[in-house]
Structure 1
Amino acid sequence: MWAAAPAAASPEAATPAALSPVVVTATRTPVPSDQLVAQVVVIERETIEQAQGQTLAALLQQAAGVQISSNGGLGKASTVFLRGTEGRHVLLLIDGVRYGSATLGAPNWDNLPLAAIERIEVLKGPAAALYGSDAVGGVVQIFTRRGLEGFHPHAGLTLGAHGHRAAQAGVAGGQGRWQYRIGVSTLREDGFSATNPAVPPGWVAYTVPPDPVPRWRTRDRHNPDADGFEQDALNGSLRFEPSPGWLLTAHGLISSGNSAFDDGTQVQDVRGLTSTRVLGLGLERAWDGGARTSLRLNRADDLTRNFDFEGNTRFDTERRQWTLQHDQPSPIGTLTLGLEHSREEVDSSTAYTVRERSIEGVFVALQGSAGRHAWQASARRDDNSQFGSANTGALAYAFEFAPGWRVRAAHGTSFKAPSFNQLYWPQWGNPTTQPERGRSSEVGLSHTFGRQSLQLTRFEQRIRGFITTAPTVTNVPQVQIDGWNLVWQGSEGDWRWRADLELLEARNRTPGPNFDRRLARRAEQQLALSLERAWSDAWWFGAHAVLAGDRFDDAANTRRLPGYGRLDLSAEHQLSSDWRLQLRLNNVGDKRYETALGFNQSGRALFASLTWQPQR
């Protein structure tokens, strides 16, 4: 149901096909995983379909071993931590398009429908030398569902706890040079109270007529009512080959979410309306000898409206981007050359001093393998209209020193530009904030035996000019992130399993009151476990657990969040060739826990899905 790309596993290692998918994110080109140096986890469609009632962030935690924090249930703000870095240090791509909020400076994980996702690739480790700002801790790339030859309709219905009801339908098809897909989904959930009395007060905006400039004050946020979520989404893709060697593509994802948030009154909630739009056009030319040139035009919008009894706020960010890339095979590997242009614009009810910026990027990369060796090198230069130029680079190498055994090493540099909120938010933004600069190193040892693999990775990250928001936005000299990651996965007969252990030490190394304090909301130990079994041709069962150590909710380490353990059970029954029933019981032990102070997580919750997909 999932697969992890081994660290440069060799063809002789007899790794099963399920453990060696072709991945794109690690190199920006399609590469079989047994030729990679980087650590990548691939989450396939089957796993996504079995995540009833889960958020996208929770799916990533369980299936890829990342750490997360969440401000409640579906539709509430979530953060994903890769290699112990901040949420703003994780780049989110949707079909190659950068997506996220330019004001928050971090991805929006909470309005992306699982029904539209075909697979997910999680690249662990810095990738700024390939992708520029944001990719400090890694990259998560979502691939939406695509067309297929023939005619393939599908539909599904899900019912469950907290008044959850969802439906999705679509059709994929194609003939000859054409392929297409269109899908729609809708979701409604009454929800549960997102907060409890421990939630810290929040900032709210208000105006005093005739002055249109927002003022800010704190207000309690707890209201013990159910905080629901509604979502409607549409996605589609088109693929056309006008002549041999040429390819035209188009894809789009549009999602509208309506989420209730506590506002500290017993009268009404804040209503958060979020619109996600990701659109892309591509033209590709395949040349003789395996070379390939592509031009992609992309646009991603993150639009937010918050309504409460005092008025409303608006935060609309738009990113337009084009990318020209050429991949050239050579005797020492595939050489990739690229140019990128990106423009970010903000339209908001908040008075930002600057509302737009542009980034020009140029990058070069080399990826190859020969015999027992594999290598990857990349370099990039970005020119930001606000902060000038930034150069990043990365080198990685892997060597098979015995059959099935690999050792690898990698080093890279990164940078992260401040968000518009960090620069210009009224009262606590700081326009003198500078980009963060980082360097990362990791070494790994992997062993593949039969249909199993073990991967042990030691990683270190140093970030200079780390941006903090407490009490105001400022750059602090340095934070230090060290850790170990151990992954054991495999299959035997009808059994399949995966265990992902992360031991993390993420600390502030700046002299002062917070020296040696742990970075907020990251546990020093987390273990994600999955055990699955196919029972005959009609039944499948799975058990999924997450065990996380304690963490702190603040930079001063004064607000402790206890550790927790969570167990989910799932089952699937093939009713007939066209009909399938899926059941999932989340949080079997009905554990009460928090990943952000004062924000509740769902208790025990049962979900059932019925799916129709004709087999032709």
Structure 2
Amino acid sequence: MFEYRKILLTTAALFAATPVFAQEVPAEGEGIIIADAMQKEIVVTATGVEQPVDQVGQAITVIDADTIRRRQEINVTDLIATTPGVRFNRAGTTGTVTGVSLRGAETTQTLVLIDGVKVNDPSGIGDMFDFGNLLVGNIQRIEVLRGSNSVAFGSQAIGGVVNVMTAGPTDGLAAHASADYGYSNTVNAKADISGGSGMFSGGAGISYFDTDGISSASKAFGATEKDGYKNLTANAKLRVAFSDDISLDLRGYYIDADLDYDSFFGAPADSTDVSKSKQYIGYAGVNAVLFNGLLKNRFAVTWFKHDRDYYFVRSNTPDYGYSGKNLRFEYQGVLQPIEQAKLIFGYEHEKPEYDFAGFGSDDHRKANTDSVYGLAVVQPLAGLSLTAGVRHDDHSQFGGATTLGANANYSPNHGATNFRLSYGEGFKAPSLYQLYDGFSGNDLLRPERSRSYDIGVDQSLLAGRAKASVTLFQRDTRDQIDFFATGPFTGNYRNIDKTRAKGAEFTLALRPVDALTFTAAYSYIDARDRSLDPASFDKKLARRADDAVSVSMDYDWSFGLSTGATLTQVGDSFDDVANTRSLDGYVLAGLRASIRIADRFEIYGRVDNLFDEQYSTVYGYGTYGRAAYGGVRVKFD
């Protein structure tokens, strides 16, 4: 059965696609470059400056509010996993540690933003952002930029960037709520409200998730105890427009999570371990337009804090814990003396901190980074857009690092065809955990550096109802940091000489009639160790399948019913750097439907893993089998 489904999906990959329909433009300070070309050809650069799509030379995927609503997913990871170039691994039940790899890069080399705030955890391994606690909730837009781009983002943007945004303020009063129930006593509820009056506009939302879960340790090893998970997330935005030229933006995001999980050494098994996590995310920014629009300015302070406590048995006192903090000061200016040219420049000061307490140890570490950058965007000829930039980061541990980037987009026919070229450099300082952890740290680590190359073409057909894209890429990373075991329970972090990832991404989006949307995505990634050690040279990097394909279809019936399906195939991979332990590929199928009862009410439901596929994304950890959920939505606007 697996081989039959695999053949069907691989055939569909020849017509691979991803959603790129009309999008609303995010607020300043939130945006990254957006590929948005099916209807409304507007893009937003990494600095929040709007551009036509035929000025962008980088590979981007956008998941908009309509797609998020249709898909009915709980985890952000499951939404972005159907985009090209994305691979992920999850250690069991919902809420467990989840990493996202872009184009074969390390999961620690994915930079993540939530409502304009950098949320990579300074106390995490490699500053990795754990997607396990990031549920869809009231998120309205997700953008995935693939390729090294440290000119705009600084440290960590080696694989790319995932930018997550909640809904912005609305002109009139609007409110939405939904609740669903399903497999393993799972409750998922959320609500939001937004509006504006005079100089004030804003919105707030809250979501709650509770499940009995599944066993994080795999059933194949005899594990049976379910690991439950609870998550409370809240978000808020306030915008104060003092005038047409001066405004204040305030944003907040909060996550409180409680997880039962299985921690094991050697053979997987049930355990009584518990983790509790709290994340605090804040943004305060002032926007000022000067000289009749010639110069736009943004001044902002952002704050991120992640407290993690771990218990061997659920109790009131943690056995050990981590706390990561990051305070950032940002200035960004946009100078546009003529319509065909603009200069984007800025300064950032970042202060990450790391705390650990437990096992008789109490450790505190911190660092400082000062950064300056500049980007020039020019259109010297009709249909040709050129972007180039440079950034310099001065790190308190390693000194200076300079990165370059450039891209070009040429359209000979007013955006119907776009030829893209992109070159980007990446820089990532070792995390405070990798440097100073008392059990595995190494203060002699060097920063990671990368060079990324893209070439691609986008083609719109049938008056915008079809768009096909192909992108070829290669990234070379030197001094990549990895963990090397020195014993059964010991090891440390070291630099390996070099890794290389290369491959191709194919996308297609079709809307032959207004009621039908067809999307799919295929990517091939060859990610290998290119270090000089003969024992590891040319080995595949762990947990990165070569092939992945996803196909989705949704149809809106005339009587209010909407139906859809998604098929995803992920190929084989290895769980370890030695390539001795394999992870079998898998095929997942999901069905969904919703029906509008009245203007304000909608009933919806879905079935995940329709074929009850048994698979793992991390050796020894379980995954969900067939599961069904149903609920109701209500809106007032």
The two structures have a TM-score, normalised by structure 1, of 0.91
C-alpha displacement at 1:427, in angstroms? 3.2
Partner of 1:463: 477
Q: Distance in 2 between matches of 1:253 and 1:384?
A: 28
Q: Call closer, same or farther: CA 1:32–1:162 in 2, change over 3 Å.
A: farther
2:603 and 2:631 in contact (8 A); partners too: yes
Q: Distance in 2 between matches of 1:263 and 1:482?
A: 34
- Is 1:77 the counterpart of 2:100? The answer is no
1:65 and 1:528 in contact (8 A); partners too: no
- Is 1:510 the counterpart of 2:554? The answer is no
2:526 and 2:546 in contact (8 A); partners too: yes
Q: Distance in 1 between matches of 2:509 and 2:367?
A: 44
Q: Call closer, same or farther: CA 1:17–1:545 in 2, change over 3 Å.
A: same
2:284 and 2:300 in contact (8 A); partners too: yes
449, 455, 467: which one aligns with 1:453:
467
Partner of 1:141: 163
C-alpha displacement at 1:367, in angstroms? 2.4
Identity %: 27
Kindly provide the CA deviation profile for residues 46-79 of structure 1, in whole angstroms up to 9, marking residues without a partner as x: 2223444532111110255511111123111111
Q: Call closer, same or farther: CA 1:17–1:401 in 2, change over 3 Å.
A: closer
Q: Distance in 2 between matches of 1:24 and 1:402?
A: 21
**What SS is found at the alignment partner of 1:589?**
coil
2:213 and 2:228 in contact (8 A); partners too: yes
C-alpha displacement at 1:299, in angstroms? 0.2
**What SS is found at the alignment partner of 1:46?**
helix
C-alpha displacement at 1:401, in angstroms? 4.4
Aligned structure 1 segments of 4 or more residues deviating by more than 6 angstroms:
none
106, 109, 118: which one aligns with 1:86:
106
Partner of 2:632: 610
Q: Distance in 1 between matches of 2:575 and 2:372?
A: 38
**Structure with greater proportional strand content:** 1
1:25 and 1:123 in contact (8 A); partners too: no
C-alpha displacement at 1:532, in angstroms? 1.4
Where structure 1 has 5 or more consecutive residues not aligned to the other structure, the ranges are: 7-14, 200-221
Instruction: Map 1:148-227; keep pairs closer than 5 Å.
Output: 148-196=170-218, 223-227=223-227
Partner of 1:561: 583
2:574 and 2:582 in contact (8 A); partners too: yes
**What SS is found at the alignment partner of 1:492?**
coil
**What SS is found at the alignment partner of 1:159?**
strand
* Farther off after superposition, 458-467 or 56-65: 56-65
Partner of 2:231: 231
Q: Distance in 2 between matches of 1:479 and 1:237?
A: 41
Q: Distance in 2 between matches of 1:435 and 1:188?
A: 40
Partner of 1:483: 503
Q: Call closer, same or farther: CA 1:556–1:144 in 2, change over 3 Å.
A: same
Counterpart amino acid of residue 503 in structure 1? Y
C-alpha displacement at 1:354, in angstroms? 5.8
Partner of 2:408: 397
Q: Call closer, same or farther: CA 1:19–1:421 in 2, change over 3 Å.
A: farther
2:365 and 2:436 in contact (8 A); partners too: no
1:177 and 1:241 in contact (8 A); partners too: yes
Q: Distance in 2 between matches of 1:557 and 1:275?
A: 36
**What SS is found at the alignment partner of 1:162?**
helix
Where structure 2 has 5 or more consecutive residues not aligned to the other structure, the ranges are: 1-17, 24-34, 486-491
Instruction: Map 1:590-609; keep pairs closer than 5 Å.
Output: 590-609=612-631
50, 54, 74: which one aligns with 2:74:
54
Partner of 1:360: 370
Kindly provide the CA deviation profile for residues 340-391 of structure 1, in whole angstroms up to 9, marking residues without a partner as x: 0110111221557661001111010122445221221111000111111100
Kindly provide the CA deviation profile for residues 239-280 of structure 1, in whole angstroms up to 9, marking residues without a partner as x: 111123111110101110001111459886211111111101
Counterpart amino acid of residue 396 in structure 1? N
- Cα-Cα RMSD: 2.3
Q: Distance in 1 between matches of 2:471 and 2:578?
A: 29
Kindly provide the CA deviation profile for residues 5-51 of structure 1, in whole angstroms up to 9, marking residues without a partner as x: 99xxxxxxxx9965546443545423343432212111111222344
Aligned residue pairs, count: 585
C-alpha displacement at 1:435, in angstroms? 0.4
**What SS is found at the alignment partner of 1:183?**
strand
C-alpha displacement at 1:497, in angstroms? 1.4
C-alpha displacement at 1:444, in angstroms? 0.9
- Is 1:318 the counterpart of 2:325? The answer is yes
Counterpart amino acid of residue 437 in structure 2? W
Q: Distance in 2 between matches of 1:248 and 1:343?
A: 23
2:54 and 2:410 in contact (8 A); partners too: no
- Is 1:95 the counterpart of 2:98? The answer is no
Q: Distance in 1 between matches of 2:500 and 2:269?
A: 43
Partner of 2:61: 41
1:529 and 1:545 in contact (8 A); partners too: yes
Q: Distance in 2 between matches of 1:445 and 1:49?
A: 29
Partner of 2:241: 241
Kindly provide the CA deviation profile for residues 540-595 of structure 1, in whole angstroms up to 9, marking residues without a partner as x: 11111111110000000011001111111111211110011121111111101111
Q: Call closer, same or farther: CA 1:479–1:362 in 2, change over 3 Å.
A: same
Counterpart amino acid of residue 336 in structure 2? P
Partner of 1:286: 289
C-alpha displacement at 1:426, in angstroms? 2.7
**What SS is found at the alignment partner of 2:433?**
helix
Q: Call closer, same or farther: CA 1:19–1:86 in 2, change over 3 Å.
A: farther
- Is 1:337 the counterpart of 2:339? The answer is no
Q: Distance in 2 between matches of 1:5 and 1:113?
A: 24
- Is 1:257 the counterpart of 2:279? The answer is no
Q: Distance in 2 between matches of 1:577 and 1:592?
A: 40
Q: Distance in 2 between matches of 1:591 and 1:25?
A: 40
Partner of 1:300: 304
Partner of 2:277: 274
2:433 and 2:441 in contact (8 A); partners too: yes
